[in-house]
């Protein structure tokens, strides 16, 4: 999980953030002003400062926010001057936008605010639809407006060229004032809430920002996008009353609180209308006491009434934003906020501490209990400070399981009657006057006037004051109180005095401990106990006024170090054992054990063993997809016999016993011949496939189905261990390993034999042994020093940790170190199909011959919203079905695509000839698994490449390039074998989004743009890791390229029609090469390795029994003088999606006679066993 | 620790060379030869002595044979202690092989539990595992296992199959990372009363998953 921030404002208006990875509140030093309120998204935080202006803090990222301005220069030909800027009077402007209607001279472009800067000056774009143009970038046409071409013809009368300039948002990690248009904003803002990023498929950055003015009016900020983080203008929304506070969830929920205590709910919010259409009034939870605060998430609404009671709204969802009823919850809070994943944050009424609602899950949205966040602030004496420890005790007092105190809750929602019975809560507080109550800060600050804390309320909190006194404050005081001198002034001494005293005693104590103990962790333990003995000081913990979890990505499973508990101290104690100590201890144990074995056994090896080693058989029942027609599942008995071979190596045989024509028969496979075990796991059966070289040739594996998923995993784990044992493979994959990924996201790795790239007799591809590694990826890339990166279906970047196993692997087949939780999210699509008829228009009644009205993309299978399940039991739905508008070909406003008939090409608008239409629905599902992968936050990627170092090279920093999912080109800094995740991204500017990238052994960087053209990056070297400029390389004629791979010198690309191209004429002096040469069709993906070896994923490969799509193939005959090779050798296949051979830099043995077999290669099957297999097969088929 | 296959293997494959001799009082038809065997430290005496029994029965009449039991220097050996524990407790200072006397009569009812069949050993073994898991995981892991998993653990021990055993025992030795470790580390203290010494040897065996494998700490307490 990448770290994210929880934001809070204390009663003095100081803004703090707490990182999910951290353990203390960090003050936002940059904020010169005090803030009233903040509202955060993951990428930014908005706030209202005490000057009533709105400020935006966009978090720094390696990816710049840049916006491309463009304008066109138009020329017309005349016989005198040739092409010139003299246009006809009827013509467009000389400088215009693309349509020609808008006058746009270069100097008309100004920066939108002080937060922007120009990246460079204007320049001419020489790329025209993926084709490079002549110098000058002119495109020609007969007349305006017409079709432009890059070639000048005899009849070209006009020409134009495109000028571009980038501006960049520079105000990052700082509070930048949003320039306020004076018009229409008569009164200052009082509340602010952002959200709505989930209502459209816009990239992260689109926000809905709602604000409330002091007069109770509601404003909506328009036009906030990734490229325009500040938004463009305020739009007033009419409201049925005066609004006090508003809350906007990540989805389409917006609730607000009215002065009178009712709540209003915004309806009609959607993709096309983020500001919604109308308000609906919902009554306050309690008939006598009005609501004062509301917080909404995706599917939840929490509210607080004026008596500080907390309420949960039942039955809220997108279709019913009003929900169905209130449930009283335990706890007394002054404000509440719902953050990401519907997690709830609140500020306690009594102690002004920040509370987290524990146990909020999608099935139990109301959570279980309030848990106080007790971490020190960076201003406090941090770490072993007394304040931390007093918080700790406060935490003990308030945390999780309740003892005695009614302040915090125990379990599930409780009724109104169960509410705490402290004196303060019995009588609802007097109605807070209009002007002060809208700011807790003013209320609180005024409460803290010295000498006024005479309340008889719990002794824990002396600042809990008589609210009536707070009320007497006259309104202007609120504003003044916000300035530090006024508010902090009289109070500061009180704080700092105490702080100093305690700090001194603390230092003394800690010092003494430090003398006696040599490790700091010990000392922290010591101070911990010391601190526990201290009396509980009420003044010690910070008083919070506002909290916002909109940017804080946690869920109920997150590990947070924010809560005091016993576990934490235990953990800190266990941490006092250093890895070195552990290693020394292990060594000692191991030596003692070895010594013991030697002492007790060495002279007695001739003694008989008490237990004889025997064959170990594991049996079970399964179903087998029988080899002969008609194919069907038949019940079989399944047995694995394991035994020790003559040299002590383990081996085994697999038996499948079945009945055929009432005759008992069996099929067997030697474990040492099994090349791969592939889990197929679909929603109907728990199936897996077993391949041997023979079965790979046939394209017909042994397909088995277990009764339960658990059983399948047990068998897979066992068979996998057995296969690895028989081949002597254990531990993590080597640096040379070949990695591949299936279309199900399963990851496989193969150890290359030295003969794999040998000439002329390489190890056949179908003999490669693949073993599975836990995790779920879409792309994996490696190099030969062991740096491995992966990209998930949700574009998350992952780095390989050096572990092995994970997933369903258990026992010793999996390392416990280096195995982490990995999640992935993908969308499942179904299609709604309709046919037009003259009477009713489009309906879901099709012709009898038509496809299902709800189907998959092919239309052949019925897929309804209810019967469509996640791909396997491991996946769970995480969203509802929603219309998908991002379909190629475009859609109309309701997501429909039209066509003349099924199946045909669809377009996003309706014509007279269209009789059918369809739209795509998407639903997200999430997988949680484990594997040797760690996330590389925060930028989502779509492609990655690592320099394929040869094994001998001692390069310290490993060049790694990537493409973000928005198409930005990125260069990773600080990647070494010790820190494979690197440190940060360097953004490499491009004029258009990219989709594929590859770096060769000599720092040649090639990339493919989204428009299908290729680019070469000039001057990339270890000294200049990002290079200097892009060279546009025309793609093969009429082909749009989609992927590139660069080896030692070879450059290969794949186009969208499945053609594989080799770049001719690449030399060190002319690295761009001269032309593309066609090598093969039927190719999906290519991987060129450090030996210039070429491996592909082939689209279709025909075997003797069947055909497989997505097959690993190896180019044979590739030699230094013949880099294009001769033919393909077919390996594992059927559902493979990606392969990388960029780790294998093992030079093959120079001379290799056909009779010599490599001992470390998988044992070549003897002709005899092959014949046996065939006999077997025949028997099966008869 | 569960990662350290080398240590685990060394612990598992620890063997004690043992010489079994028939007690002089036993009635035999001809002289009984001693019987030599490598006993696995992690197993139980009555589980691995089928061969011993068979060997001595060859020279005895069926009517003279009652339940077999073992004794070392006058101390009856408790079969429900792991073999390694018995050896460390009673005989760690003697010369190898460990010399055990075999009896077929006069079962010392006061000192030993009867062991009529392997299912008794299995029950004892499983209860130790359950005790240990109660401390480590509130019994969650052992309760989540199926009957066949329990069987696999036991069969692994009974047949001296390291992989078979550890495929299951691994689960008992894991903990979710967020919990930061076992709740408690189970261990058992074995005490031998040797009245001849002023010292009492206390053996602490860490019940790491199964009885006594991981570590033997010897504390000598002065009483």
Domain residue ranges of chain A, discontinuous segments joined by +: 5-63+172-372, 68-111+122-169, 384-541, 616-730, 824-928, 939-1142
Q: Mean of the pLDDT values across residues A682-698? A: 85
Mean residue pLDDT of chain A comes to 78
Among A685, A679, A908, A697, CA closest to A809: A679
CA distance linking residue A1109 with residue A1056, whole number of Å = 16
Interface predicted TM-score (ipTM) of this complex, two decimals? 0.81
CATH architecture of A5-63+172-372: 7 Propeller (2.130)
In the DSSP assignment, the letter for residue A606 is T
The answer to whether the CB atoms of A613 and B48 lie below 8 A apart is no
Residue pLDDT, tens place only, A721-767: 889 888 888 888 998 999 999 988 999 999 998 888 887 788 898 89
Q: What is the DSSP letter of B179?
A: G
By C-alpha distance, which of A1042, A1056, A1047, A1058 is closest to A1095?
Answer: A1047
CB–CB of A811 and B161 under 8 A? no
Look at the block and give the residue holding tokens 């009594």: A350
Within 13 A of A406's CA, how many CA atoms are on the CB side? 14
B16 vs A contacts (CB less than 8 Å): 600
- Chain A contact for B46, CB < 8 A? no
d(CA B214, CA B207): 8
- pLDDT-derived band at A1084 (thresholds 50, 70, 90) equals very high
The neighbour count for residue A89, using CB atoms within 10 Å, is: 4
Q: Which of A143, A125, A121 is nearest to A134 (CA)?
A: A125
Report whether the peptide linkage leading into residue A805 is cis, meaning its omega lies within 30 degrees of zero: no
- Least confident range from A286-300, A307-321, A1150-1164: namely A1150-1164
Query: CA A618 to CA A721: how far, in whole Å?
Result: 13
Q: Nearest C-alpha of chain A: how many angstroms from B40?
A: 7
Cβ contact, residue pair B39, A816, below 8 Å: no
Residue B48 in contact with partner chain A when CB distance is under 8 A: yes
DSSP A432-496: PPHHHHT-HHHHHHHHT-TT-----S-TT-TT---HHHHHHS-HHHHHHHTSHHHHHTTTHHHHH
Q: From the list B6, B39, B160, which residue is nearest A590 (CB)? A: B6
**Residue closest to A747 by CA, chosen among A807, A696, A816, A811:** A807
pLDDT of residue A270 exceeding 50, the answer is: yes
Of A574, A610, A614, the CB nearest to B40: A610
Asked if B178's CB is within 8 angstroms of A721's CB, the reply is no
Inter-chain residue contact A811 with B168, CB threshold 8 Å: yes
Set of chain B residues whose Cβ sits within 8 Å of the Cβ of A616: 159, 161, 164
pLDDT at A953 > cutoff 60: no
CB proximity A609 to B under 8 Å: yes
Contact yes or no for B2 and A815 at CB 8 A: no
A801-827 mean pLDDT: 80
Q: Best mutation site among A557, A577, A598, A611 for testing chain B: the one with the most B CBs within 10 Å?
A: A611
Q: How far is B168 from chain A (nearest CA, A)?
A: 7
> Which of A593, A601, A608 minimises the CB distance to B36?
A608
Which residue is closest to B1 within chain A, CA to CA?
A586
- What is the Cβ-side half-sphere exposure of residue A536, based on CA atoms within 13 angstroms? 12
pLDDT at A1: 59
Mean pLDDT of A580-588: 77
pLDDT of residue A46: 93
- Please, what CATH class does the domain formed by B15-103 belong to? alpha beta
3-state secondary structure A214-263: CCCCEEEEECCECCECCCCEEEEECCCCCEEEEEECCCCCEEEEECCCCE
Which chain A residue lies closest to B164 (C-alpha atoms)? Answer: A616
Compute CA distances A378 → A13, A15, A21, A34, A1079, whole Å. Answer: 16, 12, 15, 17, 62
Cβ–Cβ of B14/A717 closer than 8 Å? no
Tell me the shortest Cα–Cα distance from B32 to chain A, in angstroms.
Answer: 18
Contact criterion met (CB < 8 Å) for B159 and A614: yes
pLDDT score for A1077: 93
pLDDT band at A390 (very low <50, low <70, confident <90, very high): very low
Determine which of A596, A607, A612 to mutate to test the interface with B (most B C-beta atoms within 10 Å).
Answer: A607
pLDDT at A531 over 50: no
Q: Which of A52-66, A464-478, A512-526, B180-194 has the lowest mean pLDDT?
A: A512-526
Looking at per-residue confidence, does A527 or B14 come out higher?
Answer: B14
Chain B CB contacts of A721 below 8 Å: 163, 167
Contact A601 B178 (CB under 8 A): no
How far off is chain A from B195, nearest CA to CA, in Å? 28
Q: Minimal CA–CA distance to A700: which of A1177, A131, A20?
A: A1177
- Find the residue in A nearest to B52 (Cα): A610
| Whole-number pLDDT of residue A813 | 65
Tell whether A567 lies on the interface with B, counting CB pairs under 8 A.
Answer: yes
Average pLDDT rounded to a whole number, residues B209-213: 38
Answer yes or no: are the C-beta atoms of A471 and A452 closer than 8 Å. Answer: no
What pLDDT shows up at residue A12?
87
Which pLDDT value is given to residue A478? 38
For residue A754, the distance in angstroms to the closest alpha carbon of chain B comes to 28
Residue of B5, B37, B160 lying closest to A607 (CB–CB): B37
In angstroms, what separates the C-alpha of A616 from chain B's closest C-alpha? 8
The least confident of A213-222, A485-494, A1004-1013 is A485-494
- Judged by CB atoms closer than 8 Å, whether chains meet at A810 and B170 is answered as yes
Q: Residue B167: closest CA among chain A residues belongs to which residue? A: A811
* A-B contacts (CB, under 8 Å): 98
In A, minimum Cα distance to B176 occurs at: A816
- Specify whether domain A616-730 bears CATH 3.20.20.70: no
Optimal mutation site among B158, B160, B166, B172, interface A, most CBs of chain A within 10 A: B160
Mutate to test the interface with A, among B19, B44, B83, B163 (most CBs of A within 10 A): B163
A939-1142 shares the fold of A5-63+172-372: yes
% of chain A beyond a pLDDT of 90: 27
Tens of pLDDT, residue by residue over A1110-1121, are 899 999 988 888
Give the domain ranges of chain B: 15-103, 118-179
| Model pLDDT, residue B176 | 65
d(CA A193, CA A548): 9
Q: Which residue has the tokens 């800190």?
A: A572
B48–A611 CB contact, under 8 Å: yes
With a CB-CB cutoff of 8 Å, which residues 181-200 of chain B face chain A? Answer: 181
pTM (2 d.p.): 0.70
Nearest-Cα distance to chain B for A934, in Å, is 15
Contacts of B168 in chain A (CB under 8 A): 811
**Confidence grade of residue A156 (pLDDT, cut at 50, 70, 90):** confident
To probe the interface with A, which of B17, B52, B144, B148 has the most A CB atoms within 10 Å? B17
Residue A108: CB partners within 8 Å, gap ≥ 6?
Answer: none
Beta bridge partners of A132: A127
Asked if residue A483 lies in contact with residue A33, where contact means CB atoms within 8 angstroms, the answer is no
Which positions 140-159 of B are in contact with A (Cβ < 8 Å)? 158-159
Which is nearest to A283 in space by CA: A312, A314, A302, A262? A262
Q: What Å distances lie between residue A821 and A206, A558, A592, A818, CA to CA?
A: 29, 11, 36, 10
Query: Average pLDDT of A827-837?
Result: 87
Q: How far is A81 from A85, CA to CA, in rounded Å?
A: 9
Which of B96, B98, B168, B213 is the mutation pick for testing A, counting most A CBs within 10 A?
B96
Domain spanning A939-1142, CATH class: mainly beta
Note whether B99 contacts A: Cβ–Cβ < 8 A: no
| Mutation target among B10, B48, B94, B212 for the A interface, most CBs of A within 10 A | B10
Query: Any CB–CB contact under 8 A between B98 and chain A?
Result: no
Indicate whether A119 pLDDT > 80.
yes
The answer to whether B38 contacts A613, with C-beta atoms less than 8 Å apart, is no
**For residue range A862-920, what is the model confidence (pLDDT) as tens digits?**
888 888 888 877 888 988 898 888 887 788 888 888 888 777 778 878 887 788 888 99
A265-275 average pLDDT score: 89
Q: Is B178–A608 a contact, with Cβ atoms under 8 angstroms apart?
A: no
Show the beta-strand stretches assigned E in A851-915. Answer: 854-855, 875-877, 882-884, 896-899
**Partners of residue A567 in chain B, C-beta under 8 Å:** 179-180
B118-179 is classed in which CATH architecture?
Answer: Orthogonal Bundle (1.10)
Interchain proximity B215–A607, CB inside 8 Å: no
> What's the alpha-carbon Rg for chain A, to the nearest Å?
34
Residues of chain A with C-beta less than 8 angstroms from the C-beta of B171? 810
Q: How many angstroms away from the CA of B54 is the closest CA of chain A?
A: 12
pLDDT given for residue A979 in this prediction: 87
């Amino acid at each position: 999980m990448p770290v994210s921030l929880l934001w809070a404002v204390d009663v003095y208006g100081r803004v703090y953030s707490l990182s999910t990875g951290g353990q203390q509140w960090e003050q936002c030093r940059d904020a010169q002003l005090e803030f009233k309120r903040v509202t955060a998204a993951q990428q930014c935080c908005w706030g209202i400062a005490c000057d009533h202006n709105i400020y935006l803090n966009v978090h720094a990222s390696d990816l710049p926010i840049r916006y491309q301005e463009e304008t066109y220069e138009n020329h017309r030909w005349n016989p005198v001057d040739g092409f010139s800027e003299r246009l006809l009077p009827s013509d467009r402007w000389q400088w215009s936008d693309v349509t020609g209607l808008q006058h746009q001279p270069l100097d008309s472009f100004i920066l939108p605010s002080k937060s922007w800067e120009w990246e460079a000056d204007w320049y001419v774009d020489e790329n025209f639809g993926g084709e490079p143009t002549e110098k000058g970038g002119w495109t020609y046409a007969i007349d305006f407006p017409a079709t432009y071409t890059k070639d000048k013809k005899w009849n070209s009368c006009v020409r134009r060229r495109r000028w571009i300039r980038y501006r960049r948002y520079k105000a990052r990690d700082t509070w930048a004032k949003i320039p306020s248009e004076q018009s229409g904003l008569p009164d200052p803002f009082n509340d602010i809430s952002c959200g709505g990023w989930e209502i459209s498929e816009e990239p992260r950055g689109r926000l809905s920002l709602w604000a409330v003015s002091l007069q109770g009016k509601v404003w909506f900020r328009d036009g906030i996008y990734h490229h325009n983080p500040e938004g463009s203008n305020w739009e007033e929304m009419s409201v049925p009353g005066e609004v006090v506070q508003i809350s906007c969830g990540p989805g389409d929920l917006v609730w607000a609180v009215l002065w009178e205590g009712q709540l209003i709910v915004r309806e009609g919010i959607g993709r096309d209308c983020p500001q919604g259409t109308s308000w609906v009034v919902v009554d306050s939870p309690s008939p006598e006491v009005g609501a004062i605060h509301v917080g909404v998430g995706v599917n939840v609404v929490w509210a607080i009434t004026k008596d500080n009671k907390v309420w949960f709204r039942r039955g809220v969802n997108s279709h019913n934003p009003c929900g169905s009823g209130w449930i009283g919850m335990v706890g007394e809070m002054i404000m509440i906020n719902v953050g990401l994943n519907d997690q709830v944050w609140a500020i306690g009424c009594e102690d002004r501490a920040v509370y987290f609602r524990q146990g909020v899950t999608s099935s139990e949205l109301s959570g279980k209990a309030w848990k106080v966040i007790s971490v020190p602030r960076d201003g406090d004496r941090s770490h072993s400070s007394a304040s931390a420890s007093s918080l700790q005790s406060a935490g003990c007092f308030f945390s999780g399981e309740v003892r005695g105190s009614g302040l915090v809750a125990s379990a599930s929602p409780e009724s109104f009657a169960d509410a705490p019975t402290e004196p303060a809560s019995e009588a609802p507080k007097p109605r807070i006057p209009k002007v002060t109550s809208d700011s807790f800060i003013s209320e609180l600050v005024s409460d803290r006037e010295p000498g006024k804390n005479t309340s008889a309320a719990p002794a824990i909190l002396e600042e809990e004051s008589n609210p009536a006194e707070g009320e007497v404050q006259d309104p202007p005081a609120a504003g003044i109180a916000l300035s530090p001198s006024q508010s902090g002034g009289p109070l500061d001494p009180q704080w700092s005095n105490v702080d100093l005293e305690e700090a001194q005693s603390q230092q003394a104590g800690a010092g003494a401990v430090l003398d006696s103990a040599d490790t700091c962790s010990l000392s922290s333990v010591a101070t911990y106990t010391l601190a526990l003995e201290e009396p509980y000081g009420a003044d010690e913990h910070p008083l919070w006024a506002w909290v916002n979890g909109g940017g804080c990505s946690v869920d109920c499973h997150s590990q947070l170090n924010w809560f005091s508990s016993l576990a934490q101290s235990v953990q800190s104690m266990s941490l006092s054992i250093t890895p070195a100590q552990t290693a020394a201890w292990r060594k000692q144990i191991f030596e003692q054990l070895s010594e013991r074995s030697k002492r007790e056994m060495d002279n007695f090896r001739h003694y008989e063993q008490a237990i004889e080693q025997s064959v170990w058989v594991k049996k079970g029942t399964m179903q087998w997809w029988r080899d002969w027609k008609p194919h069907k599942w038949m019940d079989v008995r399944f047995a694995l016999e394991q035994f020790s071979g003559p040299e002590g190596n383990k081996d085994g045989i697999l038996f499948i016993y079945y009945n055929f024509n009432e005759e008992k028969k069996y099929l067997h496979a030697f474990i040492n011949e099994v090349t791969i075990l592939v889990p197929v796991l679909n929603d109907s059966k728990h199936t897996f496939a077993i391949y041997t070289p023979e079965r790979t040739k046939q394209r017909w594996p042994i397909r088995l189905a277990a009764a339960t998923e658990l059983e399948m995993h047990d068998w897979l784990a066992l068979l996998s261990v057995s296969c690895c044992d028989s081949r002597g493979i254990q531990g993590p994959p080597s640096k040379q390993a070949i990695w591949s990924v299936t279309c199900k996201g399963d990851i496989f790795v193969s150890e290359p034999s030295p003969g794999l790239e040998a000439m002329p007799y390489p190890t056949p591809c179908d003999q490669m042994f693949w073993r599975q590694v836990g995790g779920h990826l879409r792309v994996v890339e490696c190099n030969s020093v062991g740096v491995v990166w992966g990209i998930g279906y949700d574009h998350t970047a992952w780095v390989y940790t050096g572990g092995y196993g994970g997933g369903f692997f258990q026992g010793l087949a999996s390392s416990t170190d280096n195995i982490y939780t990995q999640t992935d999210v993908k969308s499942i699509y179904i299609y709604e199909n309709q046919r037009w008829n003259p009477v009713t228009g489009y309906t879901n009644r099709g012709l009898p011959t038509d496809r299902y009205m709800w189907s998959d993309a092919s239309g052949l299978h019925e897929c309804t919203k209810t019967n469509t399940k996640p791909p396997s039991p491991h996946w769970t739905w995480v969203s509802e079905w929603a219309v998908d508008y991002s379909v190629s070909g475009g859609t109309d406003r309701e997501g429909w695509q039209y066509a003349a008939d099924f199946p045909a090409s669809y377009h996003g608008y309706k014509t007279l000839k269209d009789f059918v239409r369809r739209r795509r629905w998407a639903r997200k599902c999430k997988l949680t698994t484990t594997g040797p992968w760690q996330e590389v936050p925060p930028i989502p990627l779509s492609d990655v490449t690592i320099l394929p170092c040869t094994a001998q090279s001692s390069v310290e920093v490993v060049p790694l390039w990537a493409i973000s999912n928005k198409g930005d080109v990125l260069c990773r800094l600080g990647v070494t074998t010790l820190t494979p995740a690197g440190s940060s991204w360097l953004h490499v500017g491009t004029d258009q989004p990219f989709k594929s990238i590859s770096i060769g052994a000599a720092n040649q960087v090639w990339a493919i743009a989204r428009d299908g053209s290729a680019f070469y990056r000039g001057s990339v070297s270890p000294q200049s890791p990002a290079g200097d400029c892009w060279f546009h390389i025309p793609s093969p004629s009429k082909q749009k390229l989609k992927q590139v791979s660069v080896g030692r010198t070879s450059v290969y690309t794949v186009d969208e029609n499945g053609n594989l191209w080799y770049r001719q004429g690449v030399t060190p002096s002319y690295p761009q090469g001269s032309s593309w040469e066609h090598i093969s069709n039927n190719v999906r993906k290519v991987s060129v390795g450090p030996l210039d070896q070429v491996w592909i994923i082939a689209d279709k490969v025909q075997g003797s029994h069947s055909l497989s799509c997505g097959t690993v193939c190896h180019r044979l005959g590739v030699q230094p003088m013949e880099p294009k090779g001769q033919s393909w050798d077919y390996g594992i296949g059927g559902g493979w999606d990606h392969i990388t051979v960029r780790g294998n830099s093992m030079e093959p043995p120079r001379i290799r006679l056909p009779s010599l077999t490599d001992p470390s290669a998988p044992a070549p099957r003897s002709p005899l066993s092959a014949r046996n297999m065939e006999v077997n097969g025949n028997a099966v088929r008869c | 620790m569960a990662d350290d296959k080398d240590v685990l293997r060394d612990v598992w494959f620890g063997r004690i060379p043992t010489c079994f001799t028939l007690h002089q009082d036993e009635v035999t038809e001809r002289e009984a030869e001693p019987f030599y065997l490598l006993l696995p430290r992690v197993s139980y005496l009555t589980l691995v002595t089928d061969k011993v029994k068979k060997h001595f029965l060859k020279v005895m009449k069926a009517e003279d044979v009652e339940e077999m039991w073992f004794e070392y220097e006058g101390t009856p050996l408790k079969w429900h202690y792991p073999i390694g524990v018995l050896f460390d407790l009673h005989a760690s200072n003697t010369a190898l092989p460990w010399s055990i006397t075999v009896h077929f009569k006069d079962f010392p009812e006061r000192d030993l539990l009867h062991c009529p069949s392997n299912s008794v050993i299995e029950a004892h073994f499983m209860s130790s595992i359950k005790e240990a898991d109660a401390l480590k995981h509130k019994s969650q892991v052992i309760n989540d296992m199926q009957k066949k998993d329990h069987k696999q653990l036991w069969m692994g021990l009974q047949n001296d199959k390291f992989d078979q055993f550890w495929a299951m025992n691994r689960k008992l030795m894991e903990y979710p990372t967020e919990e930061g470790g076992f709740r408690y580390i189970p261990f058992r203290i074995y005490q031998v009363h040797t009245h001849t010494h002023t010292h009492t040897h206390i053996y602490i065996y860490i019940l790491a998953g199964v009885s006594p494998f991981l570590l033997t700490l010897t504390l000598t307490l002065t009483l």
